[in-house]
């Protein structure tokens, strides 16, 4: 025997039944704990702090010099490869098929070297950026910890780490206070 209920009747019966089963769980999850007091939650934006931290301009100048040197080296290698390609193009008509094949293999080897040089240079530039920012990040972390402790915060969320997930009002944003603390404390 199959019992058929119209959708409206089924929803009128099933929804309250489900709510009766789930409601106690929701009430327990939302009831205050007797041993724990209220927690203070705050947010900050590490990207804003990193852009404004004292000493950042000096670090940026050093990084810009290193990046400029890397660009110069890449330009030299690229010009060398271009010169090689131009020379091959001029001499191509005089090559035998075996010489043409050998020159194409040589060209491909030079292209692979160039690609490897680009990757190595990019890795070195990224490592340099991280190396130069490490002291600034340590300074920011220390200032965030000091400020959060003095403000009595239990939980801190970084907006820069999760921009879509952290939506908070200005009342709990500690970024300006942390920046002021870093500026007051000067350089470590």
30-77 pLDDT per residue, tens: 444 445 567 777 888 888 888 888 888 888 999 999 999 999 999 999
pTM metric for this prediction = 0.61
Dihedral of alpha carbons 59, 62, 66, 72, sign: positive
- Which residues fall within 8 angstroms of residue 32, CB to CB, at 6 or more apart? none
pLDDT in tens, 73-82: 999 999 999 9
């Amino acid at each position: 025997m199959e019992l058929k209920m119209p959708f409206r009747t089924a929803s009128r019966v099933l929804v309250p039944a489900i709510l009766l089963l789930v409601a106690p769980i929701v009430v327990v999850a939302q009831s205050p704990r007797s041993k724990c007091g209220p927690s203070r939650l705050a947010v900050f934006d590490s990207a804003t702090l990193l852009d404004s931290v004292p000493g950042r301009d000096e670090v940026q100048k050093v990084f810009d010099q290193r990046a400029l040197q890397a660009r110069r080296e890449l330009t030299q290698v690229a010009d060398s490869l271009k010169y090689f390609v131009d020379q091959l193009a001029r001499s191509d008509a005089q090559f035998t098929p075996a010489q043409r094949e050998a020159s194409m293999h040589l060209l491909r080897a030079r292209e692979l070297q160039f690609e490897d040089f680009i990757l190595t240079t990019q890795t070195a530039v990224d490592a340099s950026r991280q190396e130069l920012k490490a002291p600034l990040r340590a300074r920011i972390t220390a200032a965030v910890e000091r400020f959060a402790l003095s403000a009595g915060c239990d939980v801190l969320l970084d907006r820069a780490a999760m921009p879509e997930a952290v939506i908070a009002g200005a009342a709990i944003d500690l970024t300006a206070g942390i920046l002021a603390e870093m500026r007051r404390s000067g350089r470590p």
